[in-house]
Amino acid sequence: MSGMTMTQKILAAHCGKDKIQAGELVECAVDIALGNDITAPMAIREFRKTGASKVFDQNKVVLVPDHFTPNKDIASAVQAKTTREFAKEMGIKNYFEVGCMGVEHALLPEKGLTKPGDLIVGADSHTCTYGAMGAFSTGIGSTDLASVMALGTCWFKVPAALKINLHGSFQPGVSGKDLILQVIGKIGVEGARYLSLEFVGDGVKNISLEERLTIANMATEAGAKNGIFPVDDIVLDYCMERAHSKGIAYTADKDAVYLVEHDFDLSKIPMTVAFPHLPENVHDIEETYQQKIKIDQAVIGSCTNGRISDMRAAAAILKGRHIASGVRLIVIPATQEVWIKCVHEGLMDIFVAAGAAVSTPTCGPCLGGYMGILAAGEKAIATTNRNFVGRMGDPTSEVYLASPAVAAASAVAGVICGPQHL
């Protein structure tokens, strides 16, 4: 039997085996089971059907009402109430109410709930975010979450792997969002279907943890089962500060098998925009700028790009400038901690002076929920992760995906552009 990848080693450790291989079916113990206000209520209904009277571990079930909260209507209020009452009934320690919650995939690392070597599942496809910290994390369905909440285990088919070799460092202004869009552009939205997308190479050390979180977050947009980075001092320092634990760092064996390998020179990654209606439809910013694509709205936030580094990147562009006439700019810090940092650093003043509307943490506009729904024919540039037909509103609207720097510059110019074009 050949060697194992990072992902395979984590799965092996959690199913009690020394060796496993791609395609094998394994039942693994779960470290964190996550639900939100959309997915948890269905899981709760199914959980009750099992006859279970308590969750497997009050510390390992995490519930975050972030999609339609603060509640936008009666239906969303019922969803949130169902989640809230279940958390109280079960004594769940990690329930985050409005006022202390954040966008789930930004919140969990911040709260020290994710660390290297963990096995994390969540009823949200972007649970793959935590692979940035050397964890195996993946999205599951609500019925699967019900089972995990009761039993603390989950079945997996061990994924084969695709290796992304990273070299060098980014040019100024280029970010992890640009890299992951280029990766998806190269391999396609099904290019890593049910594979572990493993990012390695000497270039990793030049990518901040927040940028890695952005990259891992969008692994699912390439069809991947999970995305994962090796553990280094950047990760360990963060985990010691937040989780007070280094976790367990797993490294791939030298003879680990990868179905495909791709190389990326970070110094050659351009600022990138994904055109409608797929994340693989990528264009570099210079080509895009020549098309003078007018926008109606810009959104800066989400589980992909709502962290403090994203807020700082946007504020650096907006400082001393005002958004173009006819453009709406919505800025959403992903957590309360990020929100407070924005206040203390003067970023809120910059956003408001530039003409932006600033929201409490929410996923709202990303999935066409609220706080920025598009009307027929409108175009938006967003730092979110998906641009499918009707994703942010009317089916005839269009969503362009980009980094915070590009989104901010586009809001100022009124057309999609980079900071260099202002």
* DSSP single-letter state for residue 391: T
242 within 8 A of 109, measured Cβ to Cβ: yes
The rounded distance, in Å, linking the Cα atoms of 12 and 325 is 56
Q: In one letter, which amino acid is 315?
A: A
pLDDT in tens, 137-182: 999 999 999 999 999 999 999 999 999 999 999 999 999 999 999 9
The rounded distance, in Å, linking the Cα atoms of 267 and 276 is 26
Distances (CA, A) of 43 to 58, 125, 247, 418: 16, 15, 28, 43
DSSP H helical ranges for 111-232: 142-151, 176-187, 209-217
pLDDT in tens, 201-235: 999 999 999 999 999 999 999 999 999 999 999 99
The rounded distance, in Å, linking the Cα atoms of 294 and 378 is 9
Q: For position 110, what pLDDT does the model report?
A: 96
pLDDT in tens, 352-366: 999 999 999 999 888
**pLDDT for residue 92 is more than 80:** yes
The rounded distance, in Å, linking the Cα atoms of 118 and 137 is 8
Q: In terms of Cα–Cα distance, which of 124, 98, 175, 112 is closest to 359? A: 98
Q: In terms of Cα–Cα distance, which of 21, 2, 3, 5 is closest to 156? A: 21
Element holding 74 (H helix, E strand):
helix 74-90
**pLDDT for residue 47 is more than 80:** yes
Handedness of CA 316, 290, 381, 168 (dihedral sign): negative
Average pLDDT, the chain: 96
- Expressed in percent and rounded to 5, the helix, strand and coil fractions of the chain are 40, 20, 40
Q: For position 208, what pLDDT does the model report?
A: 96
Q: In terms of Cα–Cα distance, which of 263, 258, 280 is closest to 164? A: 263
The rounded distance, in Å, linking the Cα atoms of 191 and 113 is 30
127 within 8 A of 105, measured Cβ to Cβ: yes
The rounded distance, in Å, linking the Cα atoms of 297 and 374 is 8
Q: For position 367, what pLDDT does the model report?
A: 87
Q: For position 273, what pLDDT does the model report?
A: 97
pLDDT in tens, 250-263: 999 999 999 999 99
DSSP SS3 for 265: strand
Q: For position 366, what pLDDT does the model report?
A: 86
89 within 8 A of 53, measured Cβ to Cβ: no
The rounded distance, in Å, linking the Cα atoms of 289 and 416 is 6
Confidence of residue 389 (pLDDT cuts 50, 70, 90): confident
Strand order across the 136-139 sheet: 94-95, 61-64, 32-36, 119-122, 136-139
Report the pLDDT averaged over residues 330-339. 96
Report the pLDDT averaged over residues 32-47. 96
**pLDDT for residue 1 is more than 90:** no
Contacts of 270 (CB under 8 A, 6+ apart): 174, 178, 182, 284, 285, 286
The rounded distance, in Å, linking the Cα atoms of 170 and 148 is 40
Q: For position 2, what pLDDT does the model report?
A: 84
* Farthest-apart Cα atoms in the chain, separation: 63
Domains of the chain: residue spans and CATH: 6-265 (3.30.499.10), 272-421 (3.30.499.10)
Q: For position 222, what pLDDT does the model report?
A: 95
- Partners of 3 in beta bridges: 256
136 within 8 A of 119, measured Cβ to Cβ: yes
pLDDT in tens, 277-332: 999 999 999 999 999 999 999 999 999 999 999 999 999 999 999 999 999 999 99
Q: In one letter, which amino acid is 18?
A: D
Using DSSP bridges, classify how beta strands 282-284 and 272-274 pair: parallel, antiparallel or unpaired.
Answer: antiparallel
